[in-house]
Structure 1
Amino acid sequence: MSGDAAGGLESHDYDVVVIGAGGSGLRAAIAAHEAGARVAVVCKSLLGKAHTVMAEGGIAAAMGNRWKEDNWEVHFRDTMRGGKMLNHWRMAQLHAQEAPDRVLELETWGALFDRTEDGLISQRDFGGHKYARLAHVGDRTGLEMIRTLQQRTVALGIDVFMECTVTDLLKDTGAAEDRVAGAFAYWRESGRFVVFRAPSIVLATGGIGKSFKVTSNSWEYTGDGHALALRAGASLLNMEFVQFHPTGMVWPPSVKGLLVTESVRGDGGILKNADGKRFMFDYIPEFFKAETADSVEEADRWYDDKINNRRPPELLPRDEVARAINSEIKAGRGSPHGGIFLDIASRRSPEFIKRRLPSMYHQFKELADVDITAEPMEIGPTCHYVMGGVEVDPDTEQSGVTGLYAVGECSGGMHGSNRLGGNSLSDLLVFGRRAGEAAAAYAEGTARSRPTVAEADVAVAQERALAPFSGGEKASENPYTIQSELQQTMNDLVGIIRTAAELEESLVEIEAYQERARHLIVEGHRQYNPGWHLALDLANMLLVSECIAKAALARQESRGGHTRDDFPGPDPTWGAKNLVLSLDATGTGVNLKEQPLPVMPDELKEYFA
């Protein structure tokens, strides 16, 4: 037990509880509220501090403001091809069709987008997109999106529980069907426990990046939603697909991994190795050769007249660029601090850079003493995003557990094996709205038979949360030590380039960390205790890391964000199936099975003929 009294148990009743206050969580909460539900948002950090603000480049939507030829069909095709055809076709279709309306809706709520010469919402180029389709606000688009959604959430009077962490989902154990009944959480400030009773729970908790040593992700990204869903009986999809963003800071060490937005390349930046060579021309895959400039001269002309719309190779999908950078570094052609160079200073005027990339200008000036208007940046790949996540219905975002929904980065299927830049923010808006509406509709249907929370389940959740304070005689492990070692293992053995031997070794090490984590010791009281907070997060990181490594070992091919050195190419057989992970009957082991990919209708297949 902790050194203080447990105190009374706080309890709240709602129709829909949204866990996470990023773009998808806030959009889901707004939709559920507008559908008539009583809604609460529970967030681990402060409102407005969600990782969505790090999505700087723009919101992908085929609005046709720059290119009239752009439409949802082209966006759909780009998304599927970027994901190497492993996307759930229905999610990619809905996303492409509905994204323009979600952007315009955001504008009506007060978002201030950059404009074209004609006064329309400006759209910029990004990797993997045939046309310039990212609606943007300089390089601070995610911040503007969160500001707008947050303002609307507050204006609607939706209850927000800040600095409150959910540790368990509660189920209706007396019901015939498998359904959720609420969530168990604690206040990070005081350590006091709180129970949220609700028939609908929406997971919007983001990603898993803090399991890796070098990551662009903030401290909240410990795989909470993935782990909560698993323990509640839902399944995860294709967790092997982890995106390493091509451009993160590499120097100084204190900011290693911090995101350098793709907007730098979208606005003309080029990649060079230590020899000054623009090396991306050496890494154009066959799949994209017909659409990619094959000479420096042709690429240089692209930004002026978009000749033939053959794109610079720096704007290939992220997985292709990250692998190319990794190859240059491993070949000894890297920068002094272990990265490569990203140069926009020689391509654009200082005025242009400061106007279009104000955050990047200040980020490098303040953190690295580099003036990006006068000299190149040193960058390298950084763990950024997980394409895998909770398996959901594409139309409603409901998981395999009734009443449990998942949206944003903690859901799977939409992005296949690789996410295109800019698709994340439109994903949040499109599926956040759909999940909120579906969650509200389900909650309304339970009015006469609300799920109930068993007090025994609350007691178990409370005991589990307090376990790090009472580890017993063998308790000696420090959560910070285990997390640091886990991050190193994931970085070294489950990184950009993988092999069977390294993945097998990672699973052995993760199992050892899991055993050590049973003997954690946390000192002090529950108030203001970051060691306790990490101890609870660590269980999620270990479980999700096991899922990533196990799926990566099983998929014997290279596709998208998953690269196997021992299976260097894509395999059509593997391209027709998903890997699904779930907990076994004991709740301690991870099961993995293969599952056929949903079959795309013939009318959509025509776009790839």
Structure 2
Amino acid sequence: MESSHWTAAGASPESTDRERVGRDDYETVERRVLVVGAGAAGARTAIELVEQGVDPEDLLVVGKRGHGDAHTTWARGGINGALGTHDPEDDWTVHAADTLNEGHHVNDPGKVETVTKRMPALLRELDEWGMAFSRTEDGEIDQRYFGAQSFRRTAFAGDHTGESLLDTLVERAQDLAIPYREDLFVSDLVTDGDRVLGAAAVDIDSGEFVAVDAEVVVLAAGGYTSLYSRHSSRDDENTGDGPALAYRAGADLLDMEFVQFHPTGMVGARYGDEWDGRLVTEAVRGEGGRLYNAEGERFMERYSPDQMELDARDVVARAIAKEIAEGRGTDSGGVYLDISHRDRDFIEERLPRMYERFADLSVDMAEQPVEVAPTAHYGMGGVVVDDVGETAVDDLYAIGETMAGVHGANRLGGNSLAETIAFGEVTGQAVAERLAAGDDSRGGGDTGAAEDRAADLHARVGAHFADLAALSDSDGTHDPEALLDEVRESLWTHAGILREGEGLAAALDELDDIRERAADLAVGDRTDRSFEFALDLGFALTVAEAILRGALERAESRGAHVRTDYPETDPDWRRSVVIGRDSVGAMRVDTAPVGTPSEAVQEALDAGYELDYHQLE
């Protein structure tokens, strides 16, 4: 067979001599803006574009699954914004300070301020659009405690906030007649070396190739934590599409080593493999849930007597992992999370989805604890972008979990949904201004330039589609899903909650071996899941290498990144790790300085606000 090398490295006209797929053999779609990603970030960007005057027919939002079926729906606990519903002393500067403290001060302060300043107004806007927020007795948007937050600033809709948020955004987008296309897997971005020209995609339902000719591409394709064997996402999302696509197009990646392990994922040995690692929302602890080991000890008293179960996620996750490692875990390999001291009516009202889920598994949360253990949950790293989300590749933007900068070394719970909404607005405004200024990368009125651009686009997508055509129905040796599982196991083992240099180096060697075998795959046709797994494997190999190289470079422990061979936080390491390409296309590792907060946020930092957990007792 011909080599399926695309899965390991990506294809371009320079990297293959295979005959290109002709223009008559694939569909071409022309739009001014392509938004890749069906979650909150992509939806909010598209909405903002239309509200800024862009014709909906100039847009296309694409997703790998059905409309409204995105990872956003799994973000259950809440969305942050300093409304001050219960705590009027809260404001955006304290929110920013909490975010920087939780991120161990390697966040981009400007991006943090962009989110925290905008969120109160954006929460009220969502309310006006009909989002089903939980309410106080006075009818205000209710807010709850979340880990490491100084005040109650996490707005919520029961324990289904992400689902309610996405439903609201989808309804708004439909009211604005924004075009959407389902089941379209974007496999490559097309550039001329300096700017984006569009994208190549596969309709995973029909198997047809699709080229999208676009002036601007916005990547809102999620993160990369499904590349761990135990994770809170579904297996076919958060597989690194966004960062890998941007990197291959010429953008840099930032702080990929910072992977958040949520303290409370379901334990598969107790509830079944299909639920292994799935999130038990932080809202359970935010509403007073307590953690106990198998000996009945409320063990967070040892690790964090002041903030207890609502300390930072990295602190709580490591505490749970230590309890399990030292033999105080359950027979199923977890610890107990118990909210049964709360009234049944309270649990059913505040945590309806969690209550229903465990009831279906024959567990009554009002009477008994549930079993949990840490799970890979969120990638703080991502694509390097400027203040409005643009990458180093002209006209290519990245937002949501695909971008880096807001969260630093550890994400503050409730900030993921906030980031999607805030940067959706910011990027939508920036792209609308660019379009209004007439910056048409197709060549505007210059017929020759437009023809050259189109020829360049089709030459590149034709070569890429030729590689994908060779990949489908390939009669190789190795199963792409099995290799993807090997990547996941290697990352969990060597780049999980605890890391050390020798293990990280060993994982890079394992990755090289997987990459060699990925050149000889057994793949079905383009509608077969094995074809999708092969594409996922290509993204995984790129992103896993970036995680490992970043973790090996950062010779300290900070936030979610813990090196047992460098257990201390090093003040000289208050900088970011940047992953780029060297002159021969291999990964290059550099570092970059971190900015300083504004005077207003520095004042909030100096004030030393801190959560008082015992108000919940």
Tell me the TM-score normalised to structure 1 length.
0.91
Q: Is the 8 A contact 1:202 1:439 kept in 2?
A: no
Q: 2:534 matched to which residue of 1?
A: 535
Does the residue aligned with 2:60 lie in a helix, a strand or coil?
A: strand
Given residue 31 of structure 1, which amino acid in structure 2 is its aligned partner?
Answer: E
Q: 2:483 matched to which residue of 1?
A: 482
**Would you say how many aligned residue pairs link Structure 1 and Structure 2?**
569
Q: 1:459 matched to which residue of 2?
A: 462
Does the residue aligned with 1:573 lie in a helix, a strand or coil?
A: helix
**1:262-411 equivalence runs, <5 A:** 262-284=282-304, 293=306, 312-345=307-340, 347-366=341-360, 368-394=361-387, 396-411=388-403
How far residue 471 of structure 1 moved from its aligned partner, in angstroms, is: 5.2
Deviations 1:305-343 (A, max 9, x none): xxxxxxx41001111110111111101000120000101
Q: Measure, in 1, the Cα distance between the counterparts of 2:92 and 2:603.
A: 14
Q: 2:589 matched to which residue of 1?
A: 592
Q: 2:63 matched to which residue of 1?
A: 43
How far residue 8 of structure 1 moved from its aligned partner, in angstroms, is: 2.9
**CA 1:51/1:420 → structure 2, altered by over 3 Å: closer, same or farther?**
same
How far residue 244 of structure 1 moved from its aligned partner, in angstroms, is: 0.5
Q: Measure, in 1, the Cα distance between the counterparts of 2:52 and 2:185.
A: 26
How far residue 476 of structure 1 moved from its aligned partner, in angstroms, is: 1.2
Does the residue aligned with 1:198 lie in a helix, a strand or coil?
A: strand
Q: Is the 8 A contact 1:200 1:442 kept in 2?
A: no
Q: Is the 8 A contact 1:61 1:135 kept in 2?
A: yes
Kindly report the root-mean-square deviation, in angstroms, between the aligned alpha carbons of the 2 structures: 1.7
**CA 1:228/1:214 → structure 2, altered by over 3 Å: closer, same or farther?**
same
How far residue 196 of structure 1 moved from its aligned partner, in angstroms, is: 1.1
**CA 1:406/1:182 → structure 2, altered by over 3 Å: closer, same or farther?**
same
Does the residue aligned with 1:199 lie in a helix, a strand or coil?
A: strand
Q: Measure, in 2, the Cα distance between the counterparts of 1:135 and 1:184.
A: 38
Q: Is the 8 A contact 1:168 1:228 kept in 2?
A: yes
How far residue 463 of structure 1 moved from its aligned partner, in angstroms, is: 1.9
- Residue 211 of structure 1 pairs with residue 227 of structure 2: yes
Q: Measure, in 2, the Cα distance between the counterparts of 1:277 and 1:440.
A: 56
Q: Is the 8 A contact 1:471 1:518 kept in 2?
A: no
Q: 1:607 matched to which residue of 2?
A: 604
**CA 1:375/1:196 → structure 2, altered by over 3 Å: closer, same or farther?**
same
Given residue 314 of structure 2, which amino acid in structure 1 is its aligned partner?
Answer: D
Q: Is the 8 A contact 1:201 1:439 kept in 2?
A: no
Q: 1:581 matched to which residue of 2?
A: 579
- Residue 249 of structure 1 pairs with residue 249 of structure 2: no
Tell me the TM-score normalised to structure 2 length.
0.90
Equivalent in 424, 427, 435 of residue 435 of structure 1: 427
How far residue 608 of structure 1 moved from its aligned partner, in angstroms, is: 2.4
Given residue 194 of structure 1, which amino acid in structure 2 is its aligned partner?
Answer: V
Q: Is the 8 A contact 2:384 2:404 kept in 1?
A: yes
Q: Measure, in 1, the Cα distance between the counterparts of 2:601 and 2:71.
A: 34
Q: 1:422 matched to which residue of 2?
A: 414
Given residue 26 of structure 1, which amino acid in structure 2 is its aligned partner?
Answer: A
Q: Measure, in 2, the Cα distance between the counterparts of 1:170 and 1:449.
A: 13
Deviations 1:331-387 (A, max 9, x none): 100012000010101x20111111111110111121x32111100010000000000
Q: Measure, in 2, the Cα distance between the counterparts of 1:239 and 1:204.
A: 17
Where in structure 2 are there 5+ consecutive unaligned residues? 3-20, 444-452, 607-617
- Residue 105 of structure 1 pairs with residue 125 of structure 2: yes
Q: Measure, in 2, the Cα distance between the counterparts of 1:508 and 1:156.
A: 50
Given residue 245 of structure 2, which amino acid in structure 1 is its aligned partner?
Answer: L
Given residue 363 of structure 1, which amino acid in structure 2 is its aligned partner?
Answer: R
How far residue 107 of structure 1 moved from its aligned partner, in angstroms, is: 1.0
How far residue 466 of structure 1 moved from its aligned partner, in angstroms, is: 2.4
Q: 1:237 matched to which residue of 2?
A: 254
**1:147-226 equivalence runs, <5 A:** 147-172=167-192, 178-218=194-234, 219-226=236-243
How far residue 448 of structure 1 moved from its aligned partner, in angstroms, is: 5.1
Q: Measure, in 2, the Cα distance between the counterparts of 1:197 and 1:443.
A: 15
Does the residue aligned with 2:25 lie in a helix, a strand or coil?
A: coil
Q: Measure, in 2, the Cα distance between the counterparts of 1:439 and 1:518.
A: 39
How far residue 602 of structure 1 moved from its aligned partner, in angstroms, is: 4.4
Does the residue aligned with 1:548 lie in a helix, a strand or coil?
A: helix
Q: Is the 8 A contact 1:403 1:442 kept in 2?
A: no
Q: Measure, in 1, the Cα distance between the counterparts of 2:600 and 2:47.
A: 34
Q: 1:519 matched to which residue of 2?
A: 520
Given residue 456 of structure 1, which amino acid in structure 2 is its aligned partner?
Answer: A
Q: Is the 8 A contact 2:215 2:441 kept in 1?
A: no
Q: 1:32 matched to which residue of 2?
A: 49
Q: Measure, in 2, the Cα distance between the counterparts of 1:316 and 1:133.
A: 15
Q: 1:309 matched to which residue of 2?
A: none
Q: 2:450 matched to which residue of 1?
A: none
Does the residue aligned with 2:332 lie in a helix, a strand or coil?
A: coil
Given residue 549 of structure 1, which amino acid in structure 2 is its aligned partner?
Answer: L
How far residue 281 of structure 1 moved from its aligned partner, in angstroms, is: 1.6
Where in structure 1 are there 5+ consecutive unaligned residues? 285-291, 294-311
Q: Measure, in 2, the Cα distance between the counterparts of 1:464 and 1:211.
A: 24
Q: 1:508 matched to which residue of 2?
A: 509
Q: 1:18 matched to which residue of 2?
A: 35
Deviations 1:78-132 (A, max 9, x none): 1110111111001111111110111111111111211111110000110011111
